[in-house]
Structures are given as C-alpha cells and as structure tokens.
Amino acid sequence: MAPEPEDDIMNEKNPRPLDEDDIALLKTYGLGPYSTSIKKVEKEIKEMAKKINDLCAYLRCALILNAGIKESDTGLAPPSQWDLVSDKQMMQEEQPLQVARCTKIISPNTDDAKYVINVKQIAKFVVGLGDKVSPTDIEEGMRVGEKTIISLDSCCSVDRNKYQIQIPLPPKIDPSVTMMTVEEKPDVTYNDVGGCKEQIEKMREMARSKKACIVFFDEVDAIGGARFDDGVGGDNEVQRTMLEIVNQLDGFDARGNIKVLMATNRPDTLDPALLRPGRLDRKVEFGLPDLEGRTQIFKIHTRTMNCERDIRFELLARLCPNSTGADIRSVCTEAGMYAIRARRKTVTEKDFLDAVNKVIKGYQKFSATPKYMVYN
C-alpha cells in the first residue's frame, strides 16, 4: 500500500525551508480586515507624539533661558545666568529705604507741594517727592518709603542731606491678623442666625387661625431665664426671644380660646416679666411622686418587661425615696441590664434590688434634683 503524501512530508529528513511568500502568508494569519490600517495609524500617532515632546523640550529650554525661574523648583535662575559682581555692586550703590508716615500735605495740588513725614523714633521732616512718585499716589496718613539724598556743592564737598519720598507703601498688617483672614466668603448672612423671633410670630398667627389652640413650651427656663449682662453678649438672642414671647402673650385675650402652657423644673430661674398677671398667672406644681405614685410608675415601666411574678413593687418604691419618674425608669433599665449580663430572659426581684443600690444609692452624690423639690 502506497504511503499518503502527508506521511512523506513528515518523514522527510531535510524539510523544505519557507520562502518569502510563505512567511508573508503566515503573518497575515489571524489578522482582521482593518489590521493594516490600524497599525499605520498607530505608527503615525507615535511619530506625532515624538515631535510634540521634542517641541515641548525646546520650548522649556527657551523659557529657562529667557525667564530663568519658570521651570525652576527653587524659584531661582540657573547658576549659569548669575551675575554676582553686578548684584554686589547694585547692593552697595543702593541705599535702604526708611519707613515713614505722611502726616500732612502742605499746598496740595500744586507744583510746590511738600509733605510732612514722621520717621519713627527719629524726627519729623518736610520733604518732596522722588522722580518715580506721582503726587496722586501720596495721601495723608499712609506709609511711605523715603531715602536720604546727599547733595554736593561746586567744590564736591557734602552740602546737606535731603529726604525724598520714593515709593508709597501699603498699610501695615499684623501677621497674626493675616492668619485670621477669611479665604472664602461664606454664603450665610447674619439674618440666618437665630430666627426664633420670626418663629414665635408665625406660631401666634397659626394659633389665631384655629378655633381653639394650646401652645406648649417645654423647658421654658432655657429661653425665659432672668436677664443679665455678662459683658460678652452671648445671651442676646435668648433674651430677644424671651421678650418676643412676652409681647405675643400680651396680644392674646385672657378669656380667648388660645391657652399657653409652659413647663420647667427650675421655676426659680424664670424672669419676673413672664410671671406677671395676664401672662403666666396660674402656677401648677407637680411635685415628686409619693409612695403610691412611685409604685404605679414601677408598674408602668415594667409592663413591657419579662419580669417574674410577685415582685414587690411597693418595697422597691420604699427603697427609692425622693425619686422622680426618670430615676425609676433608670432603675428598671439597669435591672434589665443585670438580667442580660446573666444571660437570663426574665428579670428577678434581685435584679431590681441591685439596680436600686447602683442607681439610687450609688448615684446619689451626682443627683441633679433641686433641693426645693425634695419635700415629699
């Protein structure tokens, strides 16, 4: 049986080398219809980028040679452009300027105008203007830079010293004040600060629009405290709010359908203007709960808790004398925390007793209850 042509090719010891046509055919293997065009465009882009980089490098060198400080990190010209001899000679020839203040202008708006300057800790002088200063640049009270001009006579001997104003100077600024300048102007005006006065006026208008209304102010001692002057003015907005409340109270009818209620736990700090007849003339005091009240408060706060049966709430109430409802609520919360720490789902009476010892007895020295309320 004759071998196949493929077998003959594989079995050849000396395979035939690839010619140029075969290599070109292999290079085109797997290429798309736009591969040649894309490669041509990429080559053109690389050439254009190279030209741009060369041009930028040339311009950068030109800027460095012309300006000297455009591309310098230190802000100095390259050492090749330094002229130390000329700079040293200029420093020796130039005289430093003295800072003075122009206190008065004599014969202003004329050709013979003179200026009275005050050199600090030296004296006052009547001087003229230098060649580079315009009369319109100098005003009374501004800082100026003046220099001594030495005049020579015909024999080349020193005749006299003469002061002249060389440049106007900006106002002196304290460096500490400069650090406190605002870089960006805020978009909030002082009209947006406060605003309680307008709120109270709108509240009165809304109350009048209803048939009957109850206006309730809680913690009125925050805005209705006694007026005083602390010398700083920090409570001015609070005092203006309280005065606006007083004005609005005077506008209500005493027998109308609008009632104003205010609550506070510091009645001794209220301003007397609020307590005058026709304003807050009815005072209802809610004192500390008694034994029965504390027992009921315990039952109210433990209603949603998983507690054991037969807990003696009256005993717990006796252990919390002179306690407010908030104190009793803290006792119930702390009792629940004891149960959570013990990984129990129910609160026992022992948890309540431990909570009383911690909250009522342990926090007694930190109690904020006013003395005038402890009477029960």
Q: Residue 221: how many CB atoms within 10 A of its CB? A: 17
Radius of gyration of the chain (CA): 47
Helix (H, G, I), strand (E, B) or coil at 126: strand
Cα maximum dimension of the chain: 135
User: Residue 208 gets which letter from DSSP?
Assistant: H
- Range with lowest mean pLDDT among 121-125, 249-253, 291-295: 249-253
Asked if the model's pLDDT at residue 105 lies above 90, the reply is no
Average pLDDT, the chain: 76
Provide the pLDDT for residue 253: 66
State in words which class domain 291-373 has.
mainly alpha
- pLDDT, average across residues 124-145: 79
Contact 152, 158 (CB under 8 A): yes
- Structural domain boundaries of the chain? 94-151+160-168, 176-181+196-274, 291-373
Provide the pLDDT for residue 234: 56
176-181+196-274: CATH, from 3.40.50.300, 3.30.565.10, 3.40.50.11740, 3.20.20.70: 3.40.50.300
User: What are the helix and strand counts (H, E) for the chain?
Assistant: 11, 7
pTM score, two decimals? 0.39
Alpha-carbon distance of 240 to 223, in angstroms, equals 9
Provide the pLDDT for residue 102: 83
Please give the CATH number for the structural domain made up of 94-151+160-168: 2.40.50
